[in-house]
Structure 1
């Protein structure tokens, strides 16, 4: 691991999910502004990945977002991100044609999404496959 971990890796929240008291995520640690003012923290990267996956599923199922572009535009607003580059990276990682509909309920699609988001949010960081697979399994359970 690099000596300077990214915030997402340090918080075991590789999707950089904002803390919201309404979200009672599995494995979420109680907020501590001395450690982290904005983002949720988790007890394991698997639970952080689970929350990331659950949030993506909510975007798809509750909000009807079916394309990589629609999902990433909500995940990473253009005010804070180069959303077009982010979308291209996720499409490439999931083997999705621009504008094609995706089904995040399919483990390979969810895994590709999660890996691309972790890579983008954490300066190229990649967890071992076993960690990602377990986080995705928890998200889809």
Structure 2
């Protein structure tokens, strides 16, 4: 696939439609700040944000959009599914930081993260898929 087209699909999937050259990342959930991207300058800021803040975004994209890419003007899958984003973030946090799975139910740990709690059973189910 053409690299420019692939980048555009990633932007359509993971960011809200721009308002005054400002985009909001769906993967950041409630802590999302607006990212500025001037018209005609490409998507450098946005792709940098995805690469640094969400290193597994390409795999997630392929899982969701394996059949057909996102369509401009049609809401992104991620704009509706905070559950999927939460599960992805838990899997990412637990695996990258080598944390015990039990952290997902620990109230003290939950106080220090933007993630919503999830049961060990549910997290394990999705990790084994």
TM-score, structure 1 as length reference: 0.29
Identify, as 1 or 2, the structure richer in strand. Answer: 2
Identify, as 1 or 2, the structure richer in helix. Answer: 2
Q: Which has the higher contact order (CA 8 A, sep 6+)?
A: 1
TM-score, structure 2 as length reference: 0.31
